[in-house]
Structure 1
Amino acid sequence: MIATILRQAPADRRTRVTAWRQLSDILAQRGNQLAEDDIRRSLHALAVLRPHVPEAVRRDCARALARHGRFAPLVAFYANDVPAVSAAMLRDVRLSETDWLALLPATNAMARSVLAGRRDLPDGVGRALAALGAASVALPQPAAVVEAEAMPSSTTDETVGAAPSQISELVRRIDKYQSRRGQPASARKARRSFQFETGPDGVIHWVDGVTRGAVIGLSIAHAAFGGEPGADAAAAGAFRQRAEIVSARMWLEGMADEAGEWRFSALPWFDPATGQFRGYRGTARRPQPNEMPYGRPQEEDPGDSIRQLIHELRSPLNAISGFAQIISGQMFGPVSQSYRAMAETIVADAASVQSIIDDLETAARRGHAVADQASDEIVDVGAIVKQVEADLGALLAEQRIEMTLARVGAGPFLGRAHDADVRRMIGRLLTALVDICEPGGILVGQLVTESPHDDMLQLRIVRPAAIRFATATDLLDPGFSPEGEAPGAAVLSLGFSLRLVDSLARAAGGRLDIGHNALTLHLPSVTSKPEAERELQQGE
């Protein structure tokens, strides 16, 4: 295996990253069993590859290898990388006391500062660090840097020097919001009141006590209808008369402790010098139990936050796509070919994002009602797989990828789920995996119906080389994208695609399993276990 990897000269960034991961994993697991010449050549190859492998990839490899690596030369190699990579390896790796003592002279001051902070090292290692003296240990890193480096890989972006991806940040905010909604009220800081001030037009321009984004920009001069955020008609009527507002209603959107109904009172204020009307100043509070219908608030919909996010995404997306279509169609006059080509690319990307948003909306609409009602719709999963294969024909030809999906079992491959959801799941899964396959590679899978006792159809896809060593946590991280993805994968990251497939599968009563060798999509079969057992009894 080592010889095979070393014989191949990495030609591009993706093959270099793949070679780095393969060599590191082999040395970590079997380094003590390899010949000395193979070890020397492997470490030399890693040293040559290191300048061409992004720091984020090296850091994630170090973090993964630290959990099971016991090969001291490889630990020493990673320990002499940049501080972020070195710390990721040295914070958790376990070595024998003999290996630690042999390793210390080969480490730099920053690496030894990480080891000095550990309390689980053998006593002999602690004494050796003390004997080296304070001058051999670097100053402690700022807390913010340490926290950033200690952050799990699921909350970091794979791009060197870039901020966390927007998709990852949005999904992380949704997860945080949903987790807060699941906490008891006593675990959150309940916001019971706030103060605000409006301008002469009735638009709130200052607030204290709640998040600015939840209130700034709302108007008390016009009544809000249809569940939109804003004030009621009583406040709007008092505003027109420049009269005092008493216990009017206001509805807000935002976090759980801000969203919902409020009651506010406000007084108009005037310029002392000119007498000119300047706006309203007031306070808002949560309504008392006896002020709410039947004494209790309306039940919350767990999909509200995602639907709100979808609404916020659609408007700018439609605007961007519309302007791009205007440029592409030269509706306002002649446009150069380069700008038209750019506009056409934007339109295509916007269509892809629109498809993603549609999938999110489907998951938000059906995801919370999974356990209550199963779908009665019967779909031919085998036919859908065949159709997706045909739809991907052009992409497969462009990337020079061969896809082979065998059928295992007597069939027919009938599932119990919504047809549109099954098409989304299978299409997203296969497209995402094709995007990360190497040109000229093969994507192998099976559509399986097991024994009559199994109530699940299974679509198994062997892991492509780019994600062969990725953990399940990484693969389901919405910001995860392996190095070397095809251009078509830029709109939707692999991690986001797999997370979406898993969400839709669970909404249908199935799941997406991340195995060591394959990804398996489980979908409910038409023949349930009780029915299968009855058939077996009748046969006997």
Structure 2
Amino acid sequence: MFFDDRLATVLRHRAASEAGARTQFRQLLDILGNRKFAPQDERSQSLVAAAWLRMDKLAEDIPAEHRAAMVREAGWRFRSADLAAHLADHEPEVASAALNRAQLSSEDWTALIPRLPVRARGFLRLRRDLPVDAEQLLERLGVYDRGLPRPEEEATQEVAKAPAEPERAPPAQAAPPAQTGSAPEAAAELPEEPVADEEPPMFRPADPADSGRSEISALVERIAQFRRTRDATPTDTDRSPRLPLGEVTQPRDRIIRGFGFSADVSGRIDWAESEIAPMVIGTRLTRPQTLGRNEDETPLERAFARRLPVSMANFPLHGAEAIAGDWIVDAQPSFTDEGNFAGYLGRFRRLGGAGDKRLSPAAQEADRIRQLLHELRTPVTAVQGYAEVIQQQLFGPAPHEYRALAAAIAADAARILAGFEELDRLAKLETGAIDIEEGATDLADIVGRITKQIGQVLRARMAGVDFDPEAAGPVFVSLDPDDCEALIWRLLATLGGLCASGEMLFATIETDAVQARLGCELPASLIAEEDVFAADAKPVDTAINAGLFGAGFALRLARAEARSAGGNLIVEDDAVTLTLPLPSGSEMEPSKAEDRQAAG
């Protein structure tokens, strides 16, 4: 759109009916509330002036409660301070709806509040998502939540009119000395009747009703005071009687591990748990928005600008020793009933379990990969589910052509999810998040079975992996049977699938005192690669597919599994060697252990 002529188009039409007047009022709200007109544009200024006049004219025909309902609707954006100032001059219900609906920046609020009528400023005190600057400005202007404070003279008169209490004889040493400077003033404020039997008002016990607070608020204050006193008391202090030997018990330096918080629309923390609140309230989670700063935007700022959930975002806190350090932020955006953005609710937690200890770069990258995979699994799983619904005709009959397409989509989704599982497994293995389980497995038996399965597919091309399990004999390794079979299949299927026609690979197993070595020749397509673990070669036969991301990724995953089990996978002299540790004698199955000894 080169020219925005929406406002001129709306003003060109005349509202001849009540429905037309309501429609045009909504159109003016939408256009004026979502656009800032440049002051140097004379044509725009004249159109805006005409729009204000038209809006006032329409307001005469539309009842105030209906206009207030239009303002409160969630289908338009209210970002104009000029529109808020204009609607603030309308009826109270319209002004209240406008000032509670407007979503302005801190600078706009600071400039708008002094322009508002005095009666309209009080509506802003009902909001809890205003920037700190706007709240401070309202405080300076004397705008409070529930009317003006109680005058001191009236409070003094009510205290003086209170019925006299029976005289209590306080101990002589507890009586405070009289202050000569304040005696004339006190005498002037007290009534003329004798007050000898009355307790002085300044020493009367505090009554919640006199301070305008309820019993509940007074109880809450007592609970808060108890918590402050309890936190200030060292928890590890021995309360049993001790000899006065001059020790001074120092309270422990408490390090905060986590706390809940809420942030306003500008990204500033406006609430936190009572213990943490004085140390973090007012802290900005995001920098002010400026032009041309998308390159160095942090993940937290990126999520905040797009109103997305914040997950595992790094954020440093500075200040008191209890909160200083690096934190992880998890938060969710919050919205009002009208659908307007109201800030974030979330929680801070320390990095790891060792206070401010940072994660290694590899662990942080693996964590980002796991987060990405988690976000990608959701749509792929949904696609797979809908495809299976169509293919199985769960919601009704479907043409066979559609069922065939749905079956192909479901199969592709399953392969994608399998690839995601491999990525997630590699990230966890390389960072030590998971380990391969130990056990006792006959390596020669598994290699023999897998080479036979591969040979049945590759026999038509005169290719395969040649291995003699009888010559190798039983070779037990310290690996869980399922994990061992998955590892051997990944290795041999990757090598066998890359064999050209007529190419035969030879595999052998050797052992020493501590480990078993499975060696296999590399196919010609991998020998030509500079880095085998970075090769993207695909299998020649689609019936044998060891992974979604090519041979290099499959070998890298096999190497990570071998290292997690205590072995390794190395490539040298045009061959690949897999080493796995031998188990202790107690981990072998008795029958197979006897067979191994007999074969030896």
Same fold (TM > 0.5): no
- What's the TM-score, normalizing by structure 1? 0.42
Considering Cα pairs closer than 8 Å and 6+ residues apart, tell me whether 1 or 2 has the greater RCO.
Answer: 1
More helix by share: 1
